[in-house]
Amino acid sequence: MTRKRVAVAGASGYAGGELLRHLLAHPEVEIGALTGASNAGQALGSLQPHLLPLADRVLEPTNLDTLAGHDVVFLALPHGQSGAIAAELGDDVVVVDCGADFRLADPAAWERFYGGDHAGTWPYGLPELPGQRDRLRGATRVAVPGCYPTVSTLTLAPAVAAGIVEPDVVVVAASGTSGAGKAAKAHLLGSEVMGNASAYGVGGTHRHTPEITQNLSSLVGGTVAVSFTPVLVPMPRGILATCSAPLARDLAGGLTAEEAHELYAKAYADEPFVHVLPPDQWPQTKSVIGSNAVHVQVTVDEAAGRLVAVGAVDNLAKGTAGAAVQCMNLALGLDEGLGLTTVGIAP
């Protein structure tokens, strides 16, 4: 089989670097053009020194001339920049967008949370959602989910889909600083982050809120209310999401932790990248760093009448770049796990 030629636009950023780390381990692809914006003309090794096999490659401008002639183009660009480039690429090219441009189905939600014109809606790159894997097979356009929506959705989906909770969920998710991107920002300086934890995007204002709502609502054919609070914590990467919801009225006091765990284990039994931990073992971010795995645990708070589920994900892997490679594999008809691992890095 001829290897697929792949380009990465935005190769100098965190998501672009993580994409290249996975693609270097992929047996069926050849890495083609690597592009940057202000970094065009620089050697990749000066910006991503951990990618030794590609250290001498020079970043090119992000334009059609550079990206043309590839079988797959990954767009690891700031929000709002993918639409114009994607429109220039032919329908025979698989375009995988790691930004938010094509995730939302509701133009009004895009305008409210991102601003500007809505570029459209592409097949959503979360294969674990019901029916989504079939939509991704053979697709030439894929919208990779946001990192918070990935872990929040997968942590809550079995409970919401089974109707064992009310459609009113609370998500509090702690994330490392790489989720904010590589650009210099004062609030991400070491002296601001170390020894500190801070909430942001509070009160339903974070951009990932409508995406989480969209995903969970699709499971019930109605609207699921989502209260989402992100928390910035002093670590480079990883997300730990604590999610809860009231037990369904006809189950309050009747659902046990064992029954909830059994439901989750059955829901994800055939999923290669979602692992429901044994009872009483709780997810931790260090266990998933560097991997495409999602660790999930669930229990019932009987006194409060609520289901509590916790999920951990590497925001740069399954939360972005790993998911992008997983979706590319499906789009190309390849084994879904090529180039990916469920093995984390420890300690």
Catalytic residues: 147
Q: Identify the CA nearest to 113 among candidates 211, 194, 19.
A: 211
In sequence order, what are the residues at sequence separation of 6 or more whose Cβ sits closer than 8 angstroms to the Cβ of residue 338? 26, 27, 28, 325, 329
Kind of pairing between the strands at 239-246 and 306-313: antiparallel
* Alpha carbon distance, N-terminus to C-terminus of the chain: 38
Tokens of 97: 């967008």
Q: Which backbone phi and psi does 197 adopt, to 5 degrees?
A: -135, 135
Query: CA 150 to CA 161: how far, in whole Å?
Result: 16
Give the strands of the sheet with 198-199, arranged side by side.
198-199, 225-232, 168-175, 239-246, 306-313, 294-301, 274-276
Tokens of 166: 């009310």
CA 207 vs CA 49, 85, 147, 198, 232: distances in Å: 31, 22, 11, 17, 15
Q: Could you list the beta-strand ranges (E) of the chain.
A: 4-9, 29-36, 60-61, 72-75, 94-97, 141-143, 168-175, 198-199, 225-232, 239-246, 274-276, 294-301, 306-313
Q: Could you list the beta-strand ranges (E) of 267-335.
A: 274-276, 294-301, 306-313
DSSP assignment, residue 116?
S
CA angle 79, 80, 83 (to 5 degrees): 120
Query: CA 216 to CA 166: how far, in whole Å?
Result: 12
**Amino acid identity, residue 178?**
S
Query: CA 182 to CA 158: how far, in whole Å?
Result: 34
